[in-house]
Amino acid sequence: MSALGANRSIGGLEQAQGFAENPSADDPESTSMTALIDRIVNVHHAHLRKELPRLLKLADRVAEVHGPHDPALGELREVLAVLKDDLESHMIKEEWCVFPKIMRWEAARSTGLCPDEGDGSFRSLEIDHRDASATLARLRKLTNGFTAKADACAMYRVLLEGLAELEAELLQHVYEENDLLFPRACVAAALLRARAAIGGPLFQYRETW
């Protein structure tokens, strides 16, 4: 295939993958990758950063008051502490390393610069997501599906409501990353590599970022 033909094919693929035209800022299914990242950080990461410390404090208090009569509350507190640490590290990895890289891939469509930054694999983040889901499943089991016993105190009920909300939020969060952002970013990286291989006046390599 000629360079011109290859360029036309890549352009068609970009259109087909929904990178370009008229993205809606409010719809995670069609917005740009940069806007989607903005939403993930400002909605989903903000929720975790607010809720995880609050829920852990509640779990501490519940375990302190009721733990002597219910050993599962001590485990609940420990499992939640692990989830908080894991997700806080995970968000830092995304915000400091992965998301800026994806935004540079997207920006490269208009700047014409071709960042040479890996192959668009998100395996390690997907493993983190799977582990967080497993930890949440453990919390669900320990709390009988986030259901309060008839004699549960008000504090424990608030904790269970918060955990159920955290689970639903995290489900949407992981969907937006695993099913919307990462597949599109993989395609963007592949397109940039293809364009770089073809060469052309708009594309140059940069050695470092």
The residue among 106 and 128 lying less far from Fe ion, judged by its C-beta, is 128
Q: How far is the CB of 104 from Fe ion (least distance, A)?
A: 18
Site for Fe ion in 24-83 (CB under 5 A): none
Residue closest to 129 by CA, chosen among 98, 160, 161, 162: 98
- Tell the smallest beta-carbon distance from residue 167 to Fe ion (Å): 15
Yes or no: say if 59 and 77 are a contact pair by the CB < 8 Å rule: yes
Nearer to Fe ion, 16 or 134 (CB): 134
Burial level of 109, CB count in 10 A (0-12/13-18/19+)?
Answer: middle
Query: Residues of 5-17 as b/e, b for ≥16 C-beta within 10 angstroms?
Result: eebeebeeebeee
* Cβ-based nearer residue to Fe ion, 15 or 42: 42
Task: Look up residue 141 and give its amino acid.
Answer: K
Stretch that binds Fe ion, among 50-58, 70-78, 90-98, 114-122 (CB under 5 A): 90-98
What does the alpha-carbon distance between residue 200 and residue 108 come to, in Å, rounded to a whole number?
14
Q: Whole-angstrom Cα distance, residue 200 to residue 16? A: 22
Q: Which of 77, 177, 188, 189 binds Fe ion (CB under 5 A)?
A: 177
User: Is the Cβ of residue 106 or residue 177 nearer to Fe ion in the bound state?
Assistant: 177
Residues that contact Fe ion, how many (by CB under 5 A)? 2
Q: Min. distance of Cβ 74 from Fe ion in angstroms?
A: 28
Residues that bind Fe ion (CB under 5 A): 94, 177
